[in-house]
Structure 1
Amino acid sequence: MAEAKTTEPAPAAAEGGSGEQQHKTVVVVGVDDSDHSYHALEWTVRHVAAGMAGAADLVIVHAKPSPSSVVSFGGPGAGEAMRYVEADLRKMAEAVVDRARRVCIANSVHALIEVVEGEPRYVLCNAAEKHHADLLVVGSHGYGAIKRAFLGSVSDYCAHHTHCSVMIMKHPKPKC
């Protein structure tokens, strides 16, 4: 899958004034089409990326489902259905990337945005490894124990399988 990119962040290591290498913090944020993931992105942009003023690289990752993971039937018309599903998944990915880009622009933050086809839990862990992330930020969908058992928890998987720290952002509940 081709990657959608915004402005490239600076390299992970930059020369300091004293001639020694300084490590830039790399933060990877997973986004999908949920409000939970955008809350995580907005929080990260405001508190981490913008607050570190050039000392952090921000990488935004969207895991686009493969058409075969959404549609699993064969027979006459299956090829046509797959083309429609692929087109819809591509449009959804474009909308996710566009919204993430707008969040970054509104906060004057540069980010690398990637769209990678695959299962979100694996895509995010691989992205954290690929970019040598110091922090992976994901939104919590707030599923209860039963839904989590059936649907799985991307954040739980990432917390147990990635090499870096994982922040699970909960969307605040409205106060009555």
Structure 2
Amino acid sequence: MDRLHRMGNDVVVAHCPDYSAIYHTPGISGDPSLVAELVREEAVKIGVIVDKLRERLTKTGVPGRILRLNGHPGSSLVKAAEEEEVDYVVTGTRGRGMMSRKILGSVSDYIVHHSHVPVVVCQRPKEQQQQV
């Protein structure tokens, strides 16, 4: 926000959960009750994320709104950017290794290659990245 946001900008924060790991994990995808429980747990985590995003917008005084999206994250985010007529997209990256990206795909790669507007991909500092 410090580097890209300018007064007068309206910010649209979009979050689309990625369930691909659940459906591609051996032993999990064949058990509907386990998948349902994992989806419920994810919904709680999403609520926490959305609350933190809302708090951050309020705390910084940045005007904007939050979109909760469903579907494939990459295409859902690109579609939302088109519908909201944004000027640019800022997305994060988890810093996954090459194998994870090959198997699960990369949302940020998808957005970069399919967005109709410029995309800024931000990466967390190495010490904050999760090892997958």
TM-score scaled by length of structure 1: 0.60
Cα RMSD for the two superposed structures: 2.3
> 1:73 Cα deviation (Å)?
2.5
- SS of residue in 2 equivalent to 1:46: coil
Contact 1:66 1:117 (C-alpha < 8 Å) held by counterparts: no
Equivalent in the alignment of 2:48? 95
Equivalent in the alignment of 2:59? 106
> 1:84 Cα deviation (Å)?
2.9
Give 1:65-80 correspondences, 5 Å limit. Answer: 65=18, 70=23, 72-73=29-30, 78=32, 80=33
Give, as a single letter, the amino acid of the residue that structure 2 aligns with 1:48.
Answer: L
TM-score scaled by length of structure 2: 0.78
Pick the structure with more helix per residue: 2
The reply to whether residue 120 of structure 1 matches residue 120 of structure 2 is no
State how many pairs are aligned: 122
> 1:160 Cα deviation (Å)?
0.7
> 1:170 Cα deviation (Å)?
1.8
Equivalent in the alignment of 1:53? 7
Contact 2:29 2:35 (C-alpha < 8 Å) held by counterparts: no
Q: Percent identity?
A: 29
- Counterpart Cα distance in 1 of 2:106 and 2:19: 19
Contact 1:59 1:114 (C-alpha < 8 Å) held by counterparts: yes
- Counterpart Cα distance in 1 of 2:111 and 2:79: 10
> 1:101 Cα deviation (Å)?
1.2
| Highest RCO, 1 vs 2 (Cα 8 Å, sep ≥ 6) | 1
The reply to whether residue 132 of structure 1 matches residue 88 of structure 2 is no
Pick the structure with more strand per residue: 1
CA deviations on 1:34-82 (whole Å, 9 max, x unpaired) are: xxxxxxxxxxx22233xx211x110011113469x645325xxx3x545
Give, as a single letter, the amino acid of the residue that structure 1 aligns with 2:120.
Answer: M
